[in-house]
Structure formats: structure tokens, C-alpha cells
Homo-oligomer: A and B are copies of this chain.
Amino acid sequence: MTDIGFIGLGIMGHGMATNLVKAGFSVTVWNRTQSKADDIIEAGAIRGQTPADVAREADIVMICVSDTPDVEAVVFGPDGVIEGVRPDSLIIDHSTISPQATQRFASIAADHGTHWIDAPISGGSEGAVNGTLTIMIGGDEEQIQRSRAYLDAIGTTITHVGPLGSGQLVKAVNQILVVVTQLAVSEALLLAEAGGLDLDSTLRAVEGGAAGSWMLSNRGPQMIDRDWRPGFTIDLQQKDLRIVLEAADELGVPLPGTAIVFQMFRALQQQGLGGDGNHALVKALERMSGIEVGSRDG
């Protein structure tokens, strides 16, 4: 059996690593804050002292950290993965990072005899805990086949979307759709509120037609109830949008809607709301206007 490494035990990685241990694999884990590994070690994982240490123990190193510089640090920084890699090993990057940086990182890894696939995830912390993540993978089919059993332990919808970097690009496409559709729902509910409409029946009147979306039907009712608990936080969403906008900039793609949402999230972070769910986007419009969605029902 292949030895597995897992680096990054945050809101997503913790559940993923736990599921790999539960599935019976030999997993060496590392996290910057070591205490976050404690319960996974108790469940049977091995503690790595550094990312390099993890790489020495594993043929496949899975990474799930926050951002492009974090991936760079744990792979190429001091005591990084690359210092310990075994020959013909594989790095699976589950982080959401720059598609272009992915190409550069994979190229340097290849110089050290190590393969790379990008495999960003969606499905939220609940999906990570339940092992029901959606995984969008870019890279060589041979390496994907090699990692299939481990991916099956953490996700249910696993799609090979194209060559290296394609997973990150599809994730970017996904995030554009998520946030601009959130903008649509936010503007719509704010006008409904200001016009004195009953928000629940308005939502029901329009969700079945051309106006309909997952966001309207799932986050709309939560917004009407002013329930801002996160499926995905503004802080993480805003970080993802920075990557999307940088990737779009390099590709020459204008994204006016996405850019507006990025600025709105930035403003909400400055107001201390970075821990709210990303559907709290509407609060940016509320604070501009003094109108509050759902406040009459509260």
C-alpha cells in the first residue's frame, strides 16, 4: 500500500485527512499549528515534524492550504516537501490557488522527479467531514489513476477536467458563478425589501423560472432569516476571488461583476465581517442604503 502524506489541517484538510485515516491508509500529517493534528494522530495518523519529513514518509503528498504563497512555502520553502521527496512521488494540491502558479510549481517539482496534479475541491466543510467533496482535477491520467483510491476516500464527484492547471481554472469558473449569482440574489432581495414585498412569497414566485439558481433557493431563505453562519467564509471567498481576478488578468479576460463583488467583500472584511458566510455579501448593499433584508420579519 502506498504511504500518504497530508499537509494542511484547516477547515477542509482536517476532515479530509481524517477520512483517509478512517479508510485505513497509512497517513503522515503536518500542520503549521501542530495541535490541530492531535485528534488525527489519536485516530491513527503519524505526526510529521516538517513538510520535508512528511515527504520522506510518503509516495503521495496531498496538500490543502489557503493560498498560492502557502503552497509555495510548504513545498519549496525551508524544510519543504521538495527537500524530502522520494523518486517518482506525486503531489496532489487540493488548495485553490493560481492556475498559472500551478504550472510553475509543477515544472519545478518535475525537475526534482516529482509529479503534480491540481485537484481543488468544493462542497464546504460539511463535504470534507462527510467525504462527499467535488474534486476538479487537472493533470496526467496516469497520476490520477494512481491517486484514485485516496480521492475516493474524500470525495464523491471526481472529474478529470483537463491537463495540469485545468482543475484550478474550473474552480475559478465555479467561484465566478457562485459570487456573481450571489450578487444577483442580494440585489433582488434588497429591492424586494425596499418595495415592501413579502420576501418568502417573492422568492417562491420567481425561483422556478429563468431567475432561478441554487444560490437563490438555498442561500435566499438564509438571508431572509438573517442567518449568516458560513458554508464558506467571506475571508476564504475573497481570497479565491483574488486568484480568479489575477488569473483573468493574465488571460486578458474582463470580469466586471466578479471585480465588484471582490471589492464588496473587501469592504465587509474591513468592517470585521470576514468570518460571516459569503451570502453576507448583501450586507455591503445594506450598509450603503440603510435597508435591511428580512428586518421586517425579525
Q: Which residues of A contact B (CB under 8 A)?
A: 99, 122-123, 134, 136, 157, 159, 161-162, 165-166, 169-170, 172-181, 183-185, 187-192, 194-198, 201-202, 205-206, 208-216, 218, 231, 244, 247-248, 251-258, 260, 285, 288-291
Query: Given A99-B195, A252-B290, list of 15 further CB < 8 A pairs?
Result: A161-B198, A162-B196, A165-B195, A166-B196, A169-B191, A170-B197, A173-B206, A176-B184, A183-B184, A187-B257, A190-B254, A191-B251, A213-B213, A253-B289, A256-B260
| B252 near A177: Cβ-Cβ < 8 Å | no
User: How many copies of this chain?
Assistant: 2
Chain B residues, Cβ within 8 Å of A187: 176, 180, 253, 255-258
Contact indicator A214/B215 (Cβ below 8 Å): no
Cβ–Cβ contact B157 & A176, under 8 A: no
Q: Nearest B residue to A215 by beta-carbon distance?
A: B210
With a cutoff of 8 Å between Cβ atoms, the chain B residues found around residue A290 in the complex are: 252
Q: Are B194 and A173 in contact (CB under 8 A)?
A: no
Are B184 and A177 in touch, CB under 8 angstroms? yes
Q: Determine if B254 and A288 form an interchain contact, defined as CB atoms under 8 angstroms apart.
A: yes
Q: Which residue of chain B lies nearest to A208 when distances are taken between CB atoms in the complex?
A: B157
Contact in complex: A255, B191 (CB < 8 Å): yes
A211 contact set on B, CB distance < 8 A: 173-175, 177-178, 181, 214
Whole-angstrom distance between the Cβ of A295 and the nearest chain B Cβ = 14
* C-alpha gap A196/B251 in the complex (Å): 10
A194 / chain B contacts, CB cutoff of 8 Å: 248, 251-253
CA distance in complex: A218, B187 (Å): 22
| A108 to B213 alpha-carbon distance, docked (Å) | 39
Query: Among the interface residues A161, A172, A177, A254, which one has the most CB atoms of the partner chain B within 10 A?
Result: A177
Report B-chain residues with C-beta under 8 Å of the C-beta of A198.
161-162
Question: With a CB–CB cut-off of 8 A, which chain B residues contact A192?
Answer: 169-170, 173
- The reply to whether A177 and B123 form a contact with Cβ atoms under 8 Å apart is no
Which residue on B lies nearest to A127, using beta carbons?
Answer: B209
Query: Which residue of the partner chain B has the closest CB to A163?
Result: B196
Residue of B nearest to A194 (CB): B251
